[in-house]
Amino acid sequence: MNATVLEVRDLRTHFGQAKAVDGVSFSVARGEVLGLVGESGSGKSVTGFSIIGLVDPPGTIVGGQIVFDGRDITRSSREEMRALRGRRMAMIFQDPMMTLNPVLRIDTQMIEAVQAHENVSRTDARARARDALGMVGIPSPDERLQAYPHQFSGGMRQRVVIAIALLHQPDFIIADEPTTALDVTIQAQILAEMQKLVAQNNTSLIWITHDLAVVSRLADRIAVMYAGRIVESGPVSDVLARPLHPYTAGLIDSVPSRNQRGERLRQIPGMAPSVARLPTGCAFAPRCPRADAVCAQAVPLFAAGPREHRCVHPLPELRV
């Protein structure tokens, strides 16, 4: 892989007592697609918002570094972050119905995005917007620029959002479950489109999702989050075929298509812990069939080649 575009080191984003993100480290290479996987509340979205500097209060980054372009951007000023957002880094949200401002025309919302970072005329900005819409496969972009968001379907809106994210050809895009709210057929189209576009521009992509099927199709690498930490990461095919962490294994087992027809759907017993009261050791231990006394102590990071995990009792028969 090429040079590292973004490196997150031991990121800690807390909401008061709640440690939503507690020691997350990963890096993304240029052009790489990283799938950040986890269930609701595992801290994957907060990780995304931490990177672009838009964590909602009372959340704050209490520790760690986010190295982008050779600098730790957790120390950047608000204005420096603003200048990076949209230009060098972009984010796509989950619900395209809510992402675009309902009372502003598409052209207004795209032109302002261009002009926020470049001193260009309205006409030029408009031309850029039109080309971007054409690029993401929106027919007759010139007319569609005049429209309001409610005149688009969900899939088309998400395309508009993607077009806005691509306006300045950012170094990386964080996509926070952008296909979850869409129909399956549209989902497949958007995935294919997204894959094509990031490959064309050599843009890195951090794809946040709970959907392993999506990750297996799209991502180069996968990072599995549980209770604010990454518990396992590695090349996507390896991890999905031979999970090391019992949680990853449980996650894979819970995919309905892997279950036998007529059989009870498999699930991980118990509930994800509250991030306000995390145990010192492995957070998954209370739900884990392999857990013992050792798991109550802090778990170090085990690394072997491209694969990393945080489990003192990794699945033995599949040990790398």
Partner 1 sequence: MTAAVVRRLLQAVMVMLAMTVIVFIAINVIGDPVDILISPDADQIERARVVQALGLDLPLWQQYLRFLWAALHGDLGESYVYNEPAIRVILERLPATLELAVAAILIAIVVGVPLGLYAGLRPDGILTRVIMTVSILGFSLPTFWVGLVLIMFFGVQLGWLPSGGRGQTAELFGVQWAFLTKDGLAHLILPAVNLALFDACLILRLTRAGVAEVLPLDFVKFARAKGLKETRVIGVHVSKNIMIPVVTIIGLEFGSIVAFSVVTESVFSWPGMGKLIIDSINVLDRPIITAYLMATVAFFVIINLVVDLTYTALDPRVRLQGEGP
Q: Footprint of partner 1 on this chain (CB under 8 A)?
A: 52, 54, 56, 82-87, 90-91, 93-95, 98-105, 112-113, 116-117, 148, 150-151, 161, 164
**Min dist. Cβ of residue 207 to partner 1 (A):** 16
Going by C-alpha positions, the residue among 41, 1, 5 that lies closest to residue 20 is 41
d(CA 213, CA 53): 29
For partner 1, give the closer residue by CB, 117 or 307: 117
For partner 1, give the closer residue by CB, 102 or 262: 102
**Min dist. Cβ of residue 103 to partner 1 (A):** 5
For partner 1, give the closer residue by CB, 121 or 297: 121
Which residues, 6+ apart, have CB-to-CB distance to 5 below 8 Å? Answer: 28, 29, 30, 32, 68, 171, 172, 204
Distances (CA, A) of 267 to 13, 259, 270: 29, 10, 9
Which residues, 6+ apart, have CB-to-CB distance to 139 below 8 Å? Answer: none
The values of phi and psi at residue 248, to 5°, are -60, -45
**Min dist. Cβ of residue 64 to partner 1 (A):** 21
Parallel, antiparallel, or unpaired for β 307-309 and 89-92?
Answer: unpaired
**Min dist. Cβ of residue 90 to partner 1 (A):** 7
**Min dist. Cβ of residue 88 to partner 1 (A):** 9
∠ Cα 172 178 181 (to 5°): 175
For partner 1, give the closer residue by CB, 57 or 262: 57
For partner 1, give the closer residue by CB, 83 or 127: 83
